[in-house]
Each structure stands twice: as C-alpha cells, then as structure tokens.
Amino acid sequence: GAGVSQTPSNKVTEKGKYVELRCDPISGHTALYWYRQSLGQGPEFLIYFQGTGAADDSGLPNDRFFAVRPEGSVSTLKIQRTERGDSAVYLCASSRDGSSYNEQFFGPGTRLTVL
Amino acid sequence: SQQGEEDPQALSIQEGENATMNCSYKTSINNLQWYRQNSGRGLVHLILIRSNEREKHSGRLRVTLDTSKKSSSLLITASRAADTASYFCATDDSISNFGNEKLTFGTGTRLTIIP
C-alpha cells in the first residue's frame, strides 16, 4: 500500500506482559516517528528515527519502552512489563527526510489495552 | 503542558456554516500544521504553514498564522457532515531545518457538523 501501515490494529494484553507494535512506513521515507495518544489528548512524541538510528528518544517515558529500526524501514516499538497506564493509541508517522518542510504521514495506529 | 492548545475544545455548528478553530503555542516555531482525526485513530494532514507565512488556503480550508501572538486559526468554510472530526494543531519548534522535526500537538477541537 501507499500509506503507513501499523499492526496489529488492536492489542489487548495483561499487566506485566511484553508487547511489540509494528510500523511499516511509506517506501523511501527515511524519517520515522512514534507518538502515543491517550484518550482525549493530542499525540505525544516518543521517538524519532533517521534511517536506522534513533536520533531522539527523549519522549520515551521510561526504560520499559524501546524501539528499533534495524534496516531503516520497518520499525518495532517494544514495551516490557506493561502497565495499565500504557493503554493508549500508538501512532507511527513517516516523512521523506525529516526536513521541517515535509509533511508527516500517519498510520492508523495500534490501540493498546492493558488489563 | 501542551505546546499547542486549541480552542474551543468542542464546537457544534449547522451544516453549511463556517467553523473556526484557534491554536496558541508557546515557543518559536519553524512551521505549524493542522491535522484531522476521525474516531481517535489515524491523523490526516490538512495544511502546513511556515513561520514566514501569514495565510494559506487549501480548498475550503484557510489557515492564518500570527507569530507575534503565537497563534493560528483554521477556518473551514461551507461545512459538511463529513467534516465532523477532531482537529489538532501541531508545531515544529526545532531550531534547524533538518533534523528532528518532531511535532508537538495540542489537545484538539472536537467539531460536530449537524446535518
């Protein structure tokens, strides 16, 4: 497809479990972003990749959160020992090169529910 | 606190009327973007206005930017039922034109168009 895709669309897990969320950016986009959106709020930045490297992970809330992008395309957001407060919609976005003049294209998100 | 804050938080108007939403922000920006979100999932990019621009149009959308007041407005003319959604402003406040253009979102305006 031409857009950003995310899998799964919904994930329900139990407190303490490990989850992985996947993002497929638009082909050729070197910049990839993860955001988290809680109910009734705007998205909040988590981490930014330029190519394979995490250029800015300042938005990750704690060390239970980790993300990788080993080949500069698909990215996986990993959450260890999930907590109920992690429940949110996790959004991925990509842009052509991270330039200030490039639009970020968002995926449909993964709704994570931690019971 | 949020960099961008929209007001009103919620707006209901009759189909065919114009809808105006406002956004205020705190720091210097490179650009400001408006996004639409349906049903709490993926965001759709509407328009980007650069810090040196004052007004921009796209179809039925008109965006203004006043950097002296650190505010922006989004006007949707001749509203349609399909415009019902949440609208977010997002600022890119990076000091460089290339690098991490992570976006800082406001809390959004929930727009309801009454048929």
Kindly report, residue by residue over B26-35, the tens digit of the pLDDT: 888 888 999 9
Give DSSP secondary structure letters for A64-105.
TEEEE-TTSS-EEEEESS--GGG-EEEEEEEESS-BTTSPPE
Mean of pLDDT over chain A: 93
Residue A73 has pLDDT above 90, yes or no: yes
Residue A44 has pLDDT above 60, yes or no: yes
Q: At the topology level of CATH, where does A18-99 sit?
A: Immunoglobulin-like (2.60.40)
Quick check: A41 and B98 CB within 8 A? no
- DSSP state, B40? T
Quick check: A45 and B104 CB within 8 A? yes
* Chain A closest-CA separation from residue B94 CA (Å): 8
pLDDT in tens, B66-115: 999 999 999 999 999 999 999 999 998 766 545 557 888 988 999 999 99
Is the Cβ of A1 closer than 8 Å to some Cβ of chain B? no
Is the Cβ of A106 closer than 8 Å to some Cβ of chain B? yes
Average pLDDT over residues A58-70: 95
Domains of chain B and CATH, by start? 5-114 (2.60.40.10)
Q: Which residues of A touch B96 (CB under 8 A)?
A: 100
* Chain B closest-CA separation from residue A42 CA (Å): 5
For residue B6, give the amino acid letter.
E
In chain A, where the domains are located = 18-99
Residue A10 has pLDDT above 90, yes or no: yes
* Chain A closest-CA separation from residue B91 CA (Å): 10
Chain B nearest-CA residue for A107: B42
Residues 71-110 of B with CB under 8 A from A: 88, 90, 92, 94, 96-108
- Tokens at A33, concatenated: 């972003």
Answer yes or no: are the C-beta atoms of B5 and B106 closer than 8 Å. Answer: yes
Task: Please list, in sequence order, all residues whose beta carbon lies within 8 angstroms of the beta carbon of residue A54, skipping any fewer than 6 positions away.
Answer: A47, A48, A67, A69
